[in-house]
Amino acid sequence: MALPTDNLLALFRAVVDIESVSRDEARLADEVEATLGGLDHLEVLRDGNAVVARTNLGRPERVIIAGHLDTVPVAGNLPSQVSDGPGGVIVHGRGTADMKGGVTVMLWLARRLDAPARDVTWIFYDCEEIDVASNGLGRLVAHHPDWVAGASLAVLMEPTSALIEGGCQGTMRFDITTTGLAAHSARSWLGHNAIHDMAEVIDRVREFDCGEVEVDGLVFREGLNATMIQGGLAGNVIPDSCEVQINYRFAPDKTADEALALMTRWFDRWTLNVLDLSPAARPGLDEPAAADFVAAVGGEPRPKYGWTDVARFSSLGIPAVNFGPADSGKAHAVDEFCPVSDLDACAAALARWLAPAHRLV
Amino acid sequence: MALPTDNLLALFRAVVDIESVSRDEARLADEVEATLGGLDHLEVLRDGNAVVARTNLGRPERVIIAGHLDTVPVAGNLPSQVSDGPGGVIVHGRGTADMKGGVTVMLWLARRLDAPARDVTWIFYDCEEIDVASNGLGRLVAHHPDWVAGASLAVLMEPTSALIEGGCQGTMRFDITTTGLAAHSARSWLGHNAIHDMAEVIDRVREFDCGEVEVDGLVFREGLNATMIQGGLAGNVIPDSCEVQINYRFAPDKTADEALALMTRWFDRWTLNVLDLSPAARPGLDEPAAADFVAAVGGEPRPKYGWTDVARFSSLGIPAVNFGPADSGKAHAVDEFCPVSDLDACAAALARWLAPAHRLV
CB A239 within 8 A of CB B228: yes
Maximum CA pair distance of chain B? 82
In sequence order, what DSSP letters do the residues of B69-109 get, joined into one string? --BSPP-S--S-EEEEETTEEEEESTTIIIIIHHHHHHHHH
Digit-coded pLDDT (tens) for B240-249: 999 999 999 9
DSSP letter for A294, please.
H
> Are B20 and B71 spatial neighbours (Cβ–Cβ below 8 Å)?
yes
Task: Delimit the domains of chain B by residue range.
Answer: 8-168+281-354, 170-278
Q: Using alpha carbons, list the distances in angstroms from residue A15 to A5, A20, A347, B107.
A: 11, 9, 16, 79
Q: How far apart, in whole angstroms, are the C-alpha atoms of residue A171 and residue B72?
A: 46
Rounded to 5°, the CA angle B122-B72-B91 comes to 75
Asked if B128 is an active-site residue, the reply is yes
Residue B211 is predicted with a pLDDT of 85
Q: What is the pLDDT of residue B89?
A: 96
Overall average pLDDT of the B18-23 stretch: 97
Percent of chain A with pLDDT over 70: 99
Q: What is the mean pLDDT of chain B?
A: 93
Contact between B229 and A229 using a beta-carbon 8 Å cutoff: yes
Query: Domain spanning B170-278 has what CATH number?
Result: 3.30.70.360
Which residues have CB under 8 Å from B131's CB, separation 6+? Answer: none
Region of residue A317 (left: phi > 0; alpha: psi -120 to 50; beta: else)? left
Q: Which of B25, B31, B70, B287 is catalytic?
A: B70
Collapsing DSSP states into helix, strand and coil, what is residue B304? coil
CB-based burial label for A72 (10 Å; 0-12, 13-18, 19+): middle
Average of per-residue pLDDT across B286-301 = 86
Give the containing element (helix H, strand E) for B349. helix B340-354
For residue A128, which residues of chain B lie inside 8 Å, CB to CB? none
pLDDT in tens, chain A (361 residues): 589 999 999 999 999 999 999 999 999 999 999 999 999 999 999 999 999 999 999 999 999 999 999 999 898 999 999 999 988 999 999 999 999 999 999 999 999 999 999 999 999 999 999 888 899 999 999 999 999 999 999 999 999 999 999 988 999 999 999 999 988 888 899 899 999 999 999 999 999 988 899 998 899 999 999 999 999 988 888 999 999 999 999 999 999 999 999 999 999 999 999 999 999 988 888 888 888 899 988 888 998 888 889 999 988 989 899 999 999 988 888 899 999 999 999 999 999 999 877 655 4
Q: Is B24 a catalytic residue?
A: no
Q: Which of B193, B223, B231 is facing A185, going by the closest CB pair?
A: B223
d(CA A289, CA A63): 9
Distance separating alpha carbons of residues B120 and B56, to the nearest angstrom: 8
Superfamily of domain B8-168+281-354 in CATH is Zn peptidases (3.40.630.10)
Pairing state between β B320-322 and B153-156: parallel
Contact present, A332 and A174 (Cβ < 8 Å): no
pTM of the entire predicted model: 0.77
- Contacting residues for A265 by C-beta, under 8 A, at least 6 apart: none
Which residue in the list B31, B128, B197, B309 is annotated as catalytic? B128
Task: Supply the pLDDT for residue A43.
Answer: 98
Query: How far is Cα B343 from Cα B356, in angstroms, rounded to an integer?
Result: 18
Tens digits of per-residue pLDDT, B182-235? 888 888 998 999 999 999 999 999 999 888 999 988 999 999 999 999 999 888
Is residue A177 within 8 A of residue A243, CB to CB? The reply is yes
- Whether residue B254 has pLDDT greater than 50: yes
Residues 151-180 of B with CB under 8 A from A: 169, 171, 173
What distance in Å separates the CA atoms of residue A332 and residue B183, rounded to the nearest whole number?
11
CA gap B295, B283 in Å, rounded: 15
| pLDDT value at residue A306 | 80
B131 pLDDT higher than 90: no
